[in-house]
Amino acid sequence: MNTSVSRREALLGIGGLGVAGALTLAGGQSAAFGRQASASAGSATPQQGAGFYRFRLGDVECFSIGDSQGRLPAFPLWGENAGEAAVNAALKARAVPPGLMLMHFNVLVIRVGGETWLVDAGNGPSGDRPGQLLTHLGTLGIKPEAVTGVILSHLHGDHFAGLFTADNRLTFPNARYMLNKLERDFWTTPDLSKTNLPEAFKKNMTEGAGKALAALTASKKLEIIQGDMKVSGGLSVRHTGGHTPGHQTVVVEGGGQRLDMIVDAVHHFVLSFRNPDWHAQFDVDAKQGAAVRRATLQRLASDGTLVMGYHTPWPGLGNVLPDGDGFAWHPAQWEW
Ligand SMILES: [Zn+2]
């Protein structure tokens, strides 16, 4: 059974996501692009699944939190250098209906040595489809005050908006916030001339990143880091660039096992893997993004590492396999 497809189809059957809830690129969208209206938002329909998935690497306890979902048009966000027909054919080959892609937003929580770390913070409290990170942390008994650190992969709204409450306080008041220097520098004087994202989207992105950066700087809890570094026991950060200049990923090691959280090196579980050279408009430099994506997938396909993606189908865990001149996403089995 193709668990990837069956899970996606199961998700399609709930929540009332549809064209009316899809993000449009004509303007007016929020910086955090996971905030689409859902026909069932606020209804009494029970939420499917618990919203978190727990797994272990030795002494390191991890959770994948399903923060939100949303829909994005496949073309031209993916494959603008290949053409719409090629994009639709690639989707059809994997039984994914063309048009609006269901996107996932997976926050990794790591508990090790008495510390609790987050990799990014989801979509935050506003919008029609707000992030559920706090709800799910609550279910797990993890209070916001207990979060000791947040590794910020990059400054896109779907990753940082959850750092702030509705009244603009820090959601995790006791946390350190780790951001790569190149990311800080890029959003201080942003240049989005190398992506064809609509101008309204670029404007929202730059304004949102600027506000987040200002607030984090003012908090005096922001730590600017460079290159690769060990953060804590079993937890290290790797600078990759590509998606954004300061994009960083996280490696978790424990019990002889290893997890590589590649965040936004990939975005879609078919298009990003099968055709890594296809441009993604969310990469601020489409060519650079494609080069980093191929190199990342090449490395992971050859060493068999357990992988997590921020946008791969929840809970986002799996392996990368070689597939012709590209790669394939093979979801991990759930164990409960
Ligand atoms: Zn993202």
28 lies in some domain: no
Domain interval for residue 298: 3-12+49-331
- Residue 31 in any domain: the answer is no
> In terms of residues, how long is the chain?
336
pLDDT of residue 12: 27
Report yes or no on 24 lying in a domain.
no
Residue in this structure with the two tokens 């791969």, named with its chain if needed: 312
State in Å: Cα 285 to ligand 1 middle: 15
Look at residue 19 and tell me if it is in a domain. Answer: no
* Ligand 1 centre distance from Cα of residue 105 (Å): 7
Q: Report CA(311)–ligand 1 centroid distance (Å).
A: 7
User: How far is residue 88's CA from residue 259's CA, in Å, rounded to a whole number?
Assistant: 31
CATH code of 317's domain: 3.60.15.10
pLDDT value of position 48: 66
Q: Do the domain assignments include residue 97?
A: yes
The pLDDT value recorded for residue 18 is: 27
- Please report whether residue 86 resides in a domain: yes
Cis amide bond preceding 144, omega within 30: no
Residue 176 lies in a domain: yes
Q: What's the gap in Å between 314 CA and the centre of ligand 1?
A: 14
Structural domain contains residue 187: yes
pLDDT of residue 46: 63
Which residue is it, tokens 């090196």? 265
Predicted pLDDT at 23: 36
Distances (CA, A) of 220 to 223, 231, 298: 8, 18, 38
- How many domains does the chain divide into? 1
- Joined tokens for residue 172: 């995790």
Cα 152 to ligand 1 centroid, rounded to whole Å: 11
pLDDT in tens, the chain (336 residues): 333 323 332 222 222 222 223 333 323 333 333 333 333 344 566 666 779 999 999 999 999 999 999 999 999 999 999 999 999 999 999 999 999 999 999 999 999 999 999 999 999 998 778 999 999 999 999 999 999 999 999 999 999 999 999 999 999 999 999 999 999 999 999 999 999 999 999 999 999 999 999 999 999 999 999 999 999 889 999 999 999 999 999 999 999 999 999 999 999 999 999 999 999 999 999 999 999 999 999 999 998 899 999 999 999 999 999 999 999 999 999 887
* Predicted local confidence at residue 127, as pLDDT: 78
For ligand 1, the distance from its centroid to the CA atom of residue 178, given in whole angstroms, is 17
* Residue in 77, 165, 73 with CA at minimum distance from that of residue 122: 165
What is the whole-number distance in angstroms between the Cα of residue 121 and the centre of ligand 1? 11
Query: How far is the centre of ligand 1, averaged over its atoms, from the C-alpha of 332 (Å)?
Result: 21
pTM here?
Answer: 0.87
Q: How many A from CA of 292 to the centre of ligand 1?
A: 15
* Distance of CA 156 from the midpoint of ligand 1 (Å): 6
